[in-house]
Structure 1
């Protein structure tokens, strides 16, 4: 017996919806992308052109009549929780893009609502399936680094200030909410809860009303020290990941290949087995007492997220990302703002 796919809707069709989510949904096993919600007439026309099998609608309330079971919220950050609450009230299962919520309190309310409603709720932490992150997990699991004591994760970019929601903290703008959720989540996944932290948040670019340079120093309860850094005013890129243990260290430059593949117009469906495969130029290096060797990267698997989410909707497996993990990340972000404002180390 063939199991029918989960009928899915995409809420929002900006760059996140168009570039990062639509291709992943369209090619996911067990998923049928049947609708896109956008209030922009131009974007509704674009949906009709790019996604002829999906219907463009202007409001969430139209989705139940289309037989939609689950939605992905990929709108400006300040709207995420309101739209997610509305979707839950309509009886829909929900994926929320990062940031899950602007504050820890808002994140907890959303998790509680989904629990009380008996609906599936998860967050799109696709960076858990980056090539470099999966490679680090393998090296740690295989014991090749020994006991890890230091982790550095950074993304350096040089981007102009663009008018809109991204330039104000009140509307969910700023680098801490943009890149922070991914980098913090990766650190928590690798090394567990944080006991205390210190943060520096700065607005460097003229006209940037929100922080565009971020550095967090996290002391994990297990003893690892993590440095999280991200910036939109940094032209010279540092290493993407650096991990040091008492037996070896790993360093990798550049960015996971999957983002570039999506931006080029490719998708898991069009690339097949070439999806997520890092070229040798993107491999990292492992250094031990015996010298330095190049380490082939694990294959990136962003394409695993939506099939897992669909299985969770059908009650056949766990959610791909526990929403309580997003609450933990939101707490780190809240505490980072306190640390930066008061110039002190704060307990988490």
Structure 2
């Protein structure tokens, strides 16, 4: 493989890429950081240490850079890297808005370099399980997909706490959760978007959001994230007219598909007594009325992100994370903020 990688920003994600990329056959040349201790950490890890992005970009041995700096620096660094003739990978979100991304894309096109974003959550086993169930008709005609991510940890950390750096959970995880839904149904258009963003524990940035995407294929997607819900709900719920799929946790296979053992043609004549009073519609399902099946098996390897981009650089493959799809996610995020500010649903595509 021809990727010779330089990492700009050697914090948590920078160190992550320095360890992961070599597993995919990528050569990591070095890392740049403005903090001296991180430069030394790069050297101790057996790669070059640079004291600035400019110093790294001047190294002819590097042909690709990955930007693991705070979000507000992505545009500046990407354009600078493109002008230096380096292929560009940004951490997500690629930019703070569509206009910034368009500037970055133009710079990369003019420089003749490849450009992508590290949307690694497209390889999540839990999401790919739901995607397979949707694509293969395993659940029949799907009418709702619910994507939830809950944490009881409360507060965020470091620069994610500040608006000026592009902090908040919409930029941090919202970009992943929206991307997963759009990736799952790439041919479906988003008809309307309604969103509610909240500051529960944080003054400056959002730490809770609820997004409802009404798609033109009949699916309504619900996306919810919170840093402070203390009893987690299932990571995924997808329901169709032939079954319901539930996955409990992030990255997990702890779930099942549920089907009716015998679909009732009509409700029973008798009224059942429940703790909430008499009911027919919500009476307990009799034994055997619902049967459980295992989730489909999924093979996935997140290292394919690096392998694919290496092949793209070599002219041997089509880019997996394409910029138009990244742009679409940013456009949805902008509509979410507008919806939350106005309290109204936004007509989209």
TM bracket, shorter-chain basis: 0.7 to 0.9
32, 44, 55: which one aligns with 2:48: 55
> How far apart are the structure 1 equivalents of 2:7 and 2:299?
26
Partner of 1:7: 4
- 1:43-96 deviation digits (Å, cap 9, x = unpaired): 1111222x21x1011223333424101011111111111111111111110111
Confirm or deny: 8 A CA contact 1:284 1:297 kept in the other structure: no
> How far apart are the structure 1 equivalents of 2:307 and 2:68?
18
In terms of Rg, which structure is larger? 2
- CA positional deviation for 1:297: 4.3
Confirm or deny: 8 A CA contact 1:284 1:296 kept in the other structure: no
Q: Structure 1 residues 284 and 162 mapped into 2: Cα distance closer, same or farther (>3 Å)? A: closer
Secondary structure in structure 2 of the residue aligned to 1:122: strand
203, 211, 228: which one aligns with 1:208: 203
> How far apart are the structure 2 equivalents of 1:208 and 1:318?
43
- 1:182-208 deviation digits (Å, cap 9, x = unpaired): 100011112233121111000001x43
- Trace 1:302-313 onto structure 2 (pairs within 5 A): 302-313=302-313
Confirm or deny: 8 A CA contact 1:283 1:296 kept in the other structure: no
Listed as ranges, the gaps of 5+ residues in structure 2 are 262-290
Partner of 2:254: 283
1:128 counterpart = 2:128: no
> How far apart are the structure 1 equivalents of 2:8 and 2:155?
25
Confirm or deny: 8 A CA contact 2:245 2:257 kept in the other structure: yes
User: Between Structure 1 and Structure 2, how many residues are aligned?
Assistant: 316
- CA positional deviation for 1:140: 2.2
Secondary structure in structure 2 of the residue aligned to 1:143: coil
67, 70, 95: which one aligns with 1:101: 95
Confirm or deny: 8 A CA contact 2:78 2:104 kept in the other structure: yes
> How far apart are the structure 1 equivalents of 2:138 and 2:156?
44
Normalization by structure 1: what TM-score?
A: 0.86
Normalization by structure 2: what TM-score?
A: 0.86
1:83 counterpart = 2:80: no
> How far apart are the structure 1 equivalents of 2:86 and 2:27?
15
Listed as ranges, the gaps of 5+ residues in structure 1 are 257-277
Partner of 2:232: 237
> How far apart are the structure 1 equivalents of 2:216 and 2:15?
39
Partner of 1:46: 41
Partner of 1:153: 147
Confirm or deny: 8 A CA contact 2:67 2:74 kept in the other structure: yes
Larger helix share, 1 or 2: 1
Confirm or deny: 8 A CA contact 1:201 1:213 kept in the other structure: yes
> How far apart are the structure 1 equivalents of 2:38 and 2:138?
49
